[in-house]
């Protein structure tokens, strides 16, 4: 598998296997494989992309009160929406954990993991690639994920990314209060790339 070509991939997979249910583990490896395969097309360093892909959901199975405690310990600012739904902190806590305890030093990887759920205005390239791959990785069964992969092949990274951002925002608007970071990300993407 492609992820095993990246330094430390085996170490990270072993760590994930201890803390994630099978389904999330398979998703994480699938994101890593996918993002590694499109790294050049997305304009990102392949090892950084694979690291972000592998580790982005490492707190996905962590209990709400533990996520809140970790966020407080790491001095991550907690928004009212996140206090209500602590699962929204899983990316931010993963970013801090990777930097503080796993020796992951790349700022791009940190930002990508931190913001992978909502995006943010000005998100860097690794972040854009992770945002895209988290939605479009081949184990996702939604038709929109297949469509995103098809658009990547036919139209390239940015048009495929815009498609994903539109689908995600539509979905969130229909179901929940939209996080201000998501709105800002979406507005910025439209302005920057449309």
Residue number, 6 or 67, with CB nearest to Fe ion: 67
Torsion 72-76-80-83 (CA) sign: negative
Using CB under 5 A as the binding rule, whether residue 134 contacts Fe ion is answered as yes
**At its nearest, how many Å lie between Fe ion and the CB of residue 56?**
6
Q: Tell me the C-alpha distance between 122 and 37, whole Å.
A: 24
Residues 57-86 that bind Fe ion (CB under 5 A): 57
- Of residues 131 and 163, the one with the C-beta less far from Fe ion: 131
Which of these segments, 96-104, 133-141, 146-154, 165-173, binds Fe ion (CB under 5 A)? 133-141
Using a CB cutoff of 8 Å and minimum separation of 24, what contacts does 60-69 make?
A: 60/20, 60/24, 60/87, 60/90, 61/19, 61/20, 61/21, 61/24, 62/19, 62/90, 62/93, 67/93
Taking the complex as a whole, the smallest distance from the CB of residue 176 to Fe ion amounts, in Å, to 15
Tell me which residue has tokens 């389904």.
23
Q: How far is the CB of 55 from Fe ion (least distance, A)?
A: 10
What mask, x for binding Fe ion by CB under 5 A, covers residues 20 to 59? -------------------------------------x--
| Widest distance between CA atoms in the chain | 45
Of the candidate spans 8-16, 81-89, 93-101, 132-140, the one that interacts with Fe ion by CB under 5 A turns out to be 132-140
Instruction: Tell me the CA end-to-end span of the chain in Å, nearest whole number.
Output: 35
State the minimum distance, in angstroms, from the CB of residue 79 to Fe ion. Answer: 17
- Are the C-beta atoms of residues 159 and 149 closer than 8 Å to each other? no
Residues within the interface to Fe ion (CB under 5 A): 57, 134
């Amino acid at each position: 598998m492609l992820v095993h070509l990246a330094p430390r991939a085996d170490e990270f997979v072993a760590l994930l296997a201890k803390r994630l249910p099978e389904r999330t583990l398979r998703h994480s490896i699938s994101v890593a494989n996918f993002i590694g395969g499109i790294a050049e097309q997305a304009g990102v360093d392949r090892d950084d992309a694979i690291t972000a892909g592998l580790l982005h959901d490492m707190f996905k199975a962590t209990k709400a009160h533990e996520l809140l405690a970790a966020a407080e310990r790491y001095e991550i600012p907690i928004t009212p929406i996140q206090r209500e739904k602590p699962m929204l902190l899983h990316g931010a806590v993963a970013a801090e954990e990777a930097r503080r305890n796993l020796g992951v030093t790349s700022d791009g990887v940190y930002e990508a993991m931190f913001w992978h759920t909502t995006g943010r205005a000005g998100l860097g390239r690794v972040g854009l690639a992770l945002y895209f791959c988290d939605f479009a990785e081949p184990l996702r069964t939604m038709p929109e994920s297949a469509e995103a992969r098809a658009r990547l092949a036919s139209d390239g990274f940015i048009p495929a990314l815009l498609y994903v951002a539109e689908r995600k925002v539509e979905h969130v608007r229909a179901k929940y209060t939209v996080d201000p970071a998501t709105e800002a990300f979406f507005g910025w993407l439209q302005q920057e790339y449309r």
